Structure 1
């Protein structure tokens, strides 16, 4: 074996050893595990409501998506959007849209208490007269309680800001709330 061939063989062996160990070192890199990834989205739940009501010349369509952030097993805070279309044939058509902020408290797993502040823009167009059309804001503060099972809660809420000009027929309203 000549001196040149020995040097070339040694260089080749050294390159192979370096490549082998460098690939082993790269395999030991710290990659994010699911535990170290962003925990925020693990605590977010999405839900909302869809409503359809039809009667003799009456239409009621509602869409209300929402999201909550669970701070722990007892408390959550969230936001929601709402759109509602109401029409009574030969009388009026109305569009309601706005948002809400909701706080949920679960003193025990089966019981859910809630407080929701809702702000809606109301546009009412009375048929036959543009002068009687109305545009105004409506605010509601609902306090509620319900029975919770899994992701669903059934209960009732009461609008403590209810007055005779309120858009709702009653201050007391039942609800079903679902978050996934």
Structure 2
């Protein structure tokens, strides 16, 4: 089943972004950008993970972009269920049209339930991600971003996240 679903998601997301960039011209004066990423994962104990993070940005200059990013994730397994929502501002600086550095402040709302012990948690956490990466052009004004971010507010024993390091893959239309 995994061998079917993952390639299906890749084809769907690739076709959506290729359709958006059809007919776009290099002289596009629109300063708005749109994009985001999706994630899906499977694991042991019937675990399943689904995540989406849409973003809307505005080009302040040709190389500087600011905007708002949101995220929603849903996880379930034989032992737990978790839902997490996040929202916050971001800023990216692009150089050589192939690389970027960025900052992203996210405030998360977490709902967690342990099915075995009937333990529930409703919590909040703020994360400040700093990092950067590489951009690959996939259309006239569309890019795929591959990068790494680090949550500088992450603390090992007090965070809901297992690590401060976050690899990311996303798409941006309008740059």
Task: Give the TM-score range, shorter chain.
Answer: 0.7 to 0.9
Aligned counterpart, 1:135:
122
Whether 1:80 and 2:73 are equivalent positions in the alignment is no
Q: Secondary structure at the match of 2:91?
A: strand
Q: Secondary structure at the match of 1:67?
A: strand
Structure (1 or 2) with the greater strand fraction: 2
Aligned counterpart, 1:62:
51
| Structure 1, 166-175 or 57-66: larger mean CA deviation | 166-175
Aligned counterpart, 1:108:
96
- Distance in 2 between the 1:177 and 1:62 partners? 12
**What's the offset of the Cα at 1:73?**
1.7
TM-score calculated relative to the size of structure 1: 0.71
Unmatched segments (≥5 aa) in structure 2 = 1-28, 138-142
Correspondent of 1:158 among 132, 150, 156:
150
**What's the offset of the Cα at 1:112?**
0.3
Dislocated runs of 4+, deviation >6 Å: none
**What's the offset of the Cα at 1:153?**
1.9
Q: Secondary structure at the match of 1:104?
A: strand
Whether 1:175 and 2:168 are equivalent positions in the alignment is yes
**What's the offset of the Cα at 1:88?**
2.3
Q: Deviations over 1:75-111 (max 9, x none)?
A: 000112211011121x210000121211001243222
Correspondent of 1:49 among 34, 37, 43:
37
Larger radius of gyration: 1
Q: Deviations over 1:113-165 (max 9, x none)?
A: 000001110000111444x2100101110001111232122111111011123
Structure (1 or 2) with the greater helix fraction: 1
Aligned length: 138
More contact order relative to length (CA 8 Å, sep ≥ 6): 2
